[in-house]
Amino acid sequence: MHRITVTEASQVAEARRRAVAVAQGIGFDETAAGRVALVVTELATNVVKYGVPGEVLVGTYEDGTGSGVEILALDKGNGFQDLGLALRDGHSTGGSAGEGLGAVRRLSDAFDIVSRPGLGTAVLARLSIDRTRTPDGVPGFGAVTVPLKGETANGDAYAVRERDDGWTAIVSDGLGHGPEAAKASEEALKLFRRHRDEPPAAILAAIHAGLSHTRGGAISVARYARDRATLALAGIGNVAGAVVSGAAMKRTVSLAGTAGHAARRIQEFEYPMQARDLFVLCSDGIATGWSLDAHPGLAGAHPTLVAGVILRDFARARDDATVLVVRGDPA
């Protein structure tokens, strides 16, 4: 994802330029790209007016609901005292070219927002490449992944693959950062796709064996089994997971080592997980003490918005950062 710091009006134009480039890059026509420009301008202007310090993240998405451009506006401002008023169509959020967050919601194919006084605001807008398509249910997963500031290559990577009985997911954190870390994670995902039907420990063992020619990294592989209501996880290194069930959170175990180079053993651990629970998997660009406690009800939000709030509140400045959020069963 492109990550644009937004603290002054001049950076709104940069956010708009990046977003339009992303949209055009996946086939948006001029009219659709103009819709993206309006949305990102409104969101970035809102951050400047009310949410400094803040940032805008722009990327693409592809899941059961379709594909398109994804925009996250994350800030640590004062938050909204009256979110209902802020969302009223035509209520301007401060001199932008649009008509406020209500217009953003109307222009978006998927929209979600969380805001708490004193903690800031997070807004997600998704704009589909095919507006004639009827979304197939709600998204089962969402993620944010950003490189270390100043880098263009991202050493982190993730993937989710649906199965008849659930899903399998991976987060890979290549050792260090930059192009060589990215190569390690790219290879890890290739091996994941090749072995995805095997159990998590077997997938991880294949990845470990196949990364010896790279610098290696930290990797966790998880599988949710719907009929058994369980999550099985095998991990090497500090890619940390947790099952979130209401107000309770159970952190998962990953064993010490570096995939591709040093792993004393590979072992699966199993955890209870119900259909409406969340599984969250983070690279070590996210502080291990992350929590949703400050945001009651956030677990029910769009998975990408949940990931964005965790990134905003718990990202470390010294590394690439990835947060993957997967629902047990979105149906």
Q: Which residues of 27-60 are buried (b: 16+ CB within 10 A; e: fewer)?
A: ebeeebbebbbbbbbbbbbbbbebbeebbbbbbe
pTM above 0.85, yes or no: yes
Q: Based on the number of CB atoms within 10 Å of its own CB, is 127 exposed (0-12), middle (13-18) or buried (19 or more)?
A: buried
Determine the Cα–Cα distance for residues 280 and 106; give it in Å rounded to an integer.
29
Determine the Cα–Cα distance for residues 73 and 2; give it in Å rounded to an integer.
12
CATH fold match for the domains 2-128 and 141-327: no
Determine the Cα–Cα distance for residues 191 and 209; give it in Å rounded to an integer.
10
């649009």: which residue's tokens? Answer: 98
Q: Which residues of 197-213 are buried (b: 16+ CB within 10 A; e: fewer)?
A: ebebbebbbbbbebbee
**Superfamily (CATH) of domain 141-327:** PPM-type phosphatase domain (3.60.40.10)
Neighbours of 298 (CB within 10 A): 18
Q: Hey, where are the domains in the chain?
A: 2-128, 141-327
**pLDDT tens digits along 228-245:** 999 999 999 999 999 999
**pLDDT tens digits along 8-38:** 989 999 999 999 999 999 999 999 999 999 9
Give the right CATH number for 2-128 from 3.20.20.140, 3.40.50.1820, 3.30.565.10, 3.40.50.720: 3.30.565.10
Give me the percent of the chain exceeding a pLDDT of 90.
Answer: 80
pLDDT at 304: 97
pLDDT at 331: 57
Residue 98 pLDDT exceeds 60: no
Lowest-pLDDT range of 80-84, 151-155, 209-213, 272-276: 80-84
Comparing 26 with 49, the larger pLDDT belongs to 26
For residue 4, what are its two tokens? 């644009």
